[in-house]
Chain A
Amino acid sequence: MNVKDYIESGILEAYILGSLTPEEEAQVVANIALYPEVAAEVAEIERAMHAFAKSMAKEPSPEMQDKIWDAIQQQSQSAPANMGNDSEDQVTAPKLIQFTPEHRKQNQWAQAAVWVALVGSLLVNIMFWFQKSDVQQKQVAMQQHIDTMQQKQAQFASLINNYEAEKRMMADTAMQTIVMHTVQANKPMAATMYWNKGKGEAYVSIGSMPPPPDGMQYQLWVIQDGKPVDMGTLPNNMAQTPAMLKAGMSVTSGQAFAISLEKAGGNPTPTTVYVVGKMG
């Protein structure tokens, strides 16, 4: 991308004036993270718009301040009260179900039933005796089926563990979520970083990125002082799964996270940047 032409095009002005579509806006946000010149230009335009807005300032009538505070107080009081009512409604009284014993059937029917059961049992035994090998085969198949199910269950359990870990991370207020948007035209992709600035911990998830082509690998970067710093390559099987990977290095500062496509094993500097997310 030619940064100068991009700045001259007027798209950054359109961004600040609020007349871009959400897709166009995401592109601009990515470019702000990627190019310091773009970020500087946007900051200048923002400054001019603030001055412009200030020049239009108009004092509202004096009673407005109390009126608005009252409105804020009222809506914050009514909101939790409603929630309380809803949860009470959800509690329902347990239902009692009464069992009545069936009347005893007449004795002769019971005797007949015993004979039918005996004869039936004998027939079934003979049948089983003939089909023993068949049953054994089926049993083996069943055992295999159970094994697969247990494997699947283990997979689900680890998936749930992942989600639990993710949930705990989300609940941590120090953890920032940074969405990395695509910078490749016509390629809708996104990846997510979870970053705890204080602890320097960073986790990456590439669930919305396509699997890399053969012989290629994704590589994670953190942009510090305008320079990309290698954070390592990402396993190819992470793409399109909710899997999260903890970065091997501690990150306590930077301007942006980025993911690029590189030859397997990675490169010392990024070749084709795919997604970028600015750090707060």
Chain B
Amino acid sequence: MPPVATYSEEELVHLLKQQSKDAFDYLYRQYSAVLYGVINKVVYDEQTAQDILQETFVKIWNNISQYNAQKGRIYTWMINIARNAAIDKLRSKGEIMKSKIQTGEDIVINIAGKIQTEQSTDTIGLRKMVSGLKPEYETIVSLAYFKGFTLDEISKTLGIPLGTVKTRMRHAMQLLRENFSV
């Protein structure tokens, strides 16, 4: 195999704006697995996840001129496009509304259950990471990141004060940072 070029984020943005096949191939090679992984945490159905992956790349392709480096890195921007596309799909299917009217306890069980069933197919790394978080932290991260809940919605769904939601987010992310600081 020929050596594979790697680009900085700025170079990648520049490359994408030229809209060449090479730019697409590079983009796909570098990011498809990460984006697909994130999508798969939001929607579990394989076919739906593939549709969303396609939609995500089309959006990245068409909206690259709107990417604003001020608001964060290109990586975060692309992950957010994938995440939002998946969450939109989830909302349109009414799944999110179902989960929003459940009580806090149900949510914990529901999400814990879903994560458990997934663990059989997940990589070893993820299983280790997820079990490393206490359920009360895991629930908040999942609701925010994978289900698109706002702070207010999380507070109401779980019946805990807004301040507590934020401090738990802080703790959860501190744990993630420790887990991932290599």
Contacts and interface: CB of A to CB of B under 8 A. Distances in A.
Contacts of B58: 68, 71-72, 75
B9 to A, nearest CB: 11
Contact of A68 (B33, B37, B54, B168): B54
Interface string A77-88: 000000000000
Contacts of A136: none
Contact of B166 (A13, A56, A58, A69): A13
B70 A278 contact: yes
Interface in A61-80: 61, 64-65, 67-69, 71-72, 75-76
Given A14-B169, A17-B141, A50-B75, A64 B32 contact: yes
B151 interface: yes
Given A58-B33, A278-B70, A64 B54 contact: yes
A53 B38 contact: yes
Contacts of A198: none
Contacts of B170: 8-10, 13
Contact of A67 (B54, B76, B84): B54
A53 B32 contact: no
Interface string B39-62: 011000000001001100110011
Interface residues of B, number: 58
B126 interface: yes
A10 B169 contact: yes
Contact of A29 (B32, B71, B126): B71
Given A10-B169, A45-B173, A48-B180, A60 B24 contact: no
Interface residues of A, number: 46
Contacts of A13: 166, 169-170, 172-173
A61 B50 CA distance: 9
A68 B57 contact: yes
Nearest to A61: B50
B73 interface: yes
Contacts of A49: 76, 79, 173, 176
Contact of B37 (A29, A53, A71): A53
Interface of A: 8-11, 13-14, 16-21, 29, 42, 44-61, 64-65, 67-69, 71-72, 75-76, 178, 277-280
19 contacts: A9-B166, A13-B166, A16-B173, A18-B148, A19-B154, A21-B150, A45-B177, A46-B73, A48-B177, A49-B76, A49-B173, A53-B37, A55-B129, A56-B34, A60-B32, A68-B54, A69-B24, A71-B57, A75-B62
The 7 closest A-B pairs by CB, nearest first: A10-B166, A10-B170, A51-B180, A56-B37, A17-B144, A57-B33, A13-B169
